[in-house]
Every structure is written in C-alpha cells, then in structure tokens.
Structure 1
Amino acid sequence: MQTASINICERIGHSQELSEFKRGTVIGCHLCNKSICEISLLLNISWSTVSGIITKWKQLGTTANQPRSDRGQRMLKCTVCRSRQLSAESIAKDLQTSCGLQISTTTVHRELHGMGFHG
C-alpha cells in the first residue's frame, strides 16, 4: 500500500533533490560550452532544472542548496494557528523538541507580534 502512494507522489512531481555530483556534472557540461538543451538530454534532467543550477552557480558561486530563511516563521505560525491558547514558553519548547530549532521565548514574542498576533 505504501509503495503505491510513493509511486503516485513521484509521478506528481515530488522528486528527490539532485546529488552534489550531478549538479557538478551540469556545471562541468556548461563549462564545456554545452547548451542547456544538450545538458538536459545528456543527463536526463529537465531543462528548467539545468537552467536553475547554472543560474545559481553564476550568482552564488556554488550549487549547494541554501537554507530557507522563512521555514521557522512558517512553523511558528502553524503552531499558533493550531492552538492560540499556548504560551510563548510552550511554543518555544515545542519547536525545540519537534524540529531542533533553538528559539527563545523573547524571539517567539517578537516574531508573533511581527506577524500580527497580539495578547
């Protein structure tokens, strides 16, 4: 039963991220003056992914994935929306245990106030 749901997710487009080796191969092909279409066909990767890898490499000088800056804020908002009666201390402890985020109660207060939650 679980394998069927995994296969459905893969067909919908939820795929694994590319390995560092494969991203490096894309950059290597790009440095050898291969076109995006040629790289896409050669490595069996979509052309938009190839283009994104090359663009990131040109802008940042690396192909490594960068941390998402808003992930903690979105998790904080979801936690508060689920139960608005939680104290800042309990929210901070919940985020520390579930996600490993190190967050203080002062940060929770400040971020919630910035999101429009008061009280």
Structure 2
Amino acid sequence: MQTASTNICEILCNKSICEISLLLNILRSTVSGIITKWNQLGTTATQPRRPLKMTGPAHAEAHSAQKSTTVC
C-alpha cells in the first residue's frame, strides 16, 4: 500500500519549480522558498525568530553609549 507522500513524490519529483507551481496552483516564489528551505535546513518547519531588541534601562544605556561615540 502506498502512502500519500509517496504519491505526491511520484508526481512532483523531477519537475521544475514552474511545473510544481502550476500543478499545486501556488506561486513560484513560494515553491522556490520551500525548496530552498528544505535544501538548507532539511525541514520545512518554522524556525525560531531572532531575539527581541533590548527594551527598558538596558536599551537606554546602550543607546546613550552609541550617541556619545558618534562624531558629527
């Protein structure tokens, strides 16, 4: 018995990005992004985002240090 992923692979393997886009009715840029993500990370799962910027006293201290070293 074949699984759904086997059937999809048989249909989409060896197809171009444009052909996959037309078959699935999604944008070429989306297909390209998914393929790139798979090749780089080996997964299509969402990855953690970058940490939030500093806020509060730490931000004010860092900001004032940057201002004092800037030469106009």
What are the equivalent positions in structure 2 for 1:21-40 lying under 5 Å apart? 28=9, 29=12, 32-40=13-21
Equivalent-residue separation in structure 1 for 2:64 and 2:50 (angstroms): 20
Counterpart residue number, 1:41: 22
Root-mean-square deviation (CA), in Å?
Answer: 2.7
TM-score, with length taken from structure 2: 0.61
Determine which structure has greater relative contact order: mean sequence separation of CA pairs < 8 Å that are 6+ residues apart, divided by chain length. Answer: 1
Q: What code does the residue aligned with 1:58 have? A: N
User: Structure 1 stretches of 5 or more lacking a match?
Assistant: 1-23, 78-87, 89-107
Equivalent-residue separation in structure 1 for 2:50 and 2:22 (angstroms): 33
Residue identity over aligned pairs, in percent, reads 61
Residue 61 (str. 1) matches residue 61 (str. 2)? no
Equivalent-residue separation in structure 2 for 1:62 and 1:56 (angstroms): 7
Report the CA distance between 1:66 and its aligned residue: 1.0
Report the CA distance between 1:68 and its aligned residue: 1.4
In terms of fraction of residues, the more helix-rich structure is 1
TM-score, with length taken from structure 1: 0.39
